[in-house]
Amino acid sequence: MKNWIGVILAAGKGKRMNSGISKPLHEMCGKPLIKYTVDTLIKSGISNIIVIVSPTNHDAIKQLLSTRVRYVIQEEALGTGHALLQCSNLVADGPTNLMVTGCDSPLLRHQTLTALSRIHVEESAYVSILTAKITGPTDLGIIKRDGYGNVYRIVETHKSKNADSAKEVNSGTYCFDSNWITSTLTNLRQSNVGEYYLTDSVESACKNENTIASLVTKYPEECLGINNRIQLAHMERILRQRIREKWMLRGVTMLDPNSTFIDSEAWIGKDSIMYPNTYIHGKSKIGSNCTVGPGSFIKDSTIGDSSIIISSFVQGSILEDHVTIGPFSHLRPGSYIERKVHIGNFGEIKESRLGEGVKMGHFGYVGDTTVGAHSNLGAGLVTCNFDGRKKHKTQIGEKVFIGSDTILVAPVSIGDNATTGAGSVITKNVPAYRLAIGVPAKIKEKPTE
């Protein structure tokens, strides 16, 4: 929408979060709150976005969003009306309409913003408000309508009565005629606590007979904001259910959906099965026909098709197709596992690449290592890659057989088709087709078969 600017109010102190982290940066389903708002505006067709920040959270928000948006600093916390007024010079002589929303409404849908903007234009409104009908206590403003059903005022919650009755509430999302709202904000009166409220612009529009439009959302949760950790947890439950339903409708099986946790930016292929107590975090991508869990944790990793991850941790790693991991193994960041690799119970891999068909069936540690295709890593293998000052590399060739309890003291390389005896300590390079055995290992010719 070329004639629109999106404005996100993110300068509030968020005191009720009781946190050293600015509220817009708190995460929900693995994604900072403010990113939900930015992404929703963009999906609705508004790419020209201004974020109102405070002096204390400006740097952190800019680091997160970079050049996707423009920034305006509200030097003094004088309310939402004062915050919007700070960007008046950026909207002057520009697009004719503003979409204004908060940074703490992650359940807001882009379809709803599109519908609100359409009503705003069709009715030639000066201000349009997104509202919802709810029952029960709320800290949202209450919408007041006249006998003809027209909005004429928004009453702050502390002034309203009948907290447990049905009511129509303000979402904090508005559309404004940009020239009108800039003029109106300069004439707002301070509240008794010294702030200028954006909601007071509605009453001003009514008094001057300016057109006020509204949209009542069918999904009341869209209007919910986050002011404390309880509300954050409540909304996260709602969003996680949305995410689960999306993937189940796309062909993913979840044996116990309520114990399956999937972040908003994760992706899962069809015909994959998620067992209970499974966590898919960050921007993880799970292929088709995979089995994950029970009790698996996948973070910022790519899992190829037809792979199995049983009761294991996979972080910052890439797995190709037909890989099996676990139970109780840990792939640390930087691991690359090629197709048809098997890592059994209690294996730990770190900053290493395991070639196609490698087998590591039992407990062991492989760090800063390259393993060639079809090698067999025996139980108890340890790569000693750290000397107290520097990490060192280990290279294991193709079709190598590493005997149980072998210790490889890096830097060291094992040639193709070589073998190490059980319990050996390898401190020197082992040529291809040789046998290394003993402590320290001695290199011998492999027995002929």
| Confidence bin at 344 (pLDDT 50/70/90) | very high
- Is the distance from CB of 133 to CB of 218 less than 8 angstroms? no
Segments of 263-322 assigned E as strands: 267-268, 273-274, 278-281, 285-286, 291-292, 297-299, 302-303, 308-309, 313-315, 318-319
Looking at residue 449, its pLDDT comes to: 59
Structure tokens at 82: 């004062």
Is 242-445 a domain of CATH 2.160.10.10? yes
Looking at residue 166, its pLDDT comes to: 82
Is a pLDDT exceeding 50 seen at residue 159? Answer: no
Is a pLDDT exceeding 80 seen at residue 164? Answer: no
Q: Which residues contact 93 (CB under 8 A, 6 or more apart)?
A: none
CA distance 228 to 235: 11
- The DSSP letter of residue 109 is -
pLDDT mean over 44-72: 96
For residue 186, give Cα distances in angstroms to 86, 197, 206, 343, 430. 11, 12, 17, 66, 80
Tell me what the pLDDT averaged over the chain comes to: 94
Q: Which residues contact 66 (CB under 8 A, 6 or more apart)?
A: none
Query: Per-residue b/e over 277-304, b at no fewer than 16 CB within 10 Å?
Result: ebbbbbebbbbbbbbbbbbbbbbbbbbb
Looking at residue 191, its pLDDT comes to: 83
> Could you tell me the residue ranges of all domains in the chain?
4-229, 242-445
Is a pLDDT exceeding 90 seen at residue 395? Answer: yes
| Confidence bin at 445 (pLDDT 50/70/90) | confident
For residue 306, give Cα distances in angstroms to 140, 174, 286, 314. 48, 47, 10, 16
pLDDT mean over 146-161: 78
Among 221, 178, 174, which Cα is nearest to 200's? 174
- Is the distance from CB of 46 to CB of 32 less than 8 angstroms? no
Span 236-283, pLDDT tens digits? 999 999 999 999 999 999 999 999 999 999 999 999 999 999 999 999
The three-state (H, E, C) secondary structure of 396-449, written as one string:
ECCCCEECCCCEEECCEEECCCCEECCCCEECCCECCCEEEECCCCEEEECCCC
CA distance 159 to 138: 12
Is a pLDDT exceeding 60 seen at residue 441? Answer: yes
| pLDDT above 70: percentage of residues in the chain | 97
| Confidence bin at 157 (pLDDT 50/70/90) | low
- The DSSP letter of residue 188 is P
Span 6-27, pLDDT tens digits? 999 999 888 899 999 999 999 9
Within 10 angstroms of residue 79's Cβ, the number of other Cβ atoms is 23
Among 216, 125, 137, which Cα is nearest to 170's? 216
| Confidence bin at 448 (pLDDT 50/70/90) | low
Is a pLDDT exceeding 50 seen at residue 160? Answer: no
Active-site positions read 362
The strand pair at 127-135 and 166-177 is best described as: antiparallel
| Confidence bin at 60 (pLDDT 50/70/90) | very high
- The lowest-confidence range among 47-51, 95-99, 235-239, 321-325 is 95-99
CATH number for region 4-229: 3.90.550.10
Give the predicted TM-score (pTM) of the model.
Answer: 0.90
- The DSSP letter of residue 317 is -
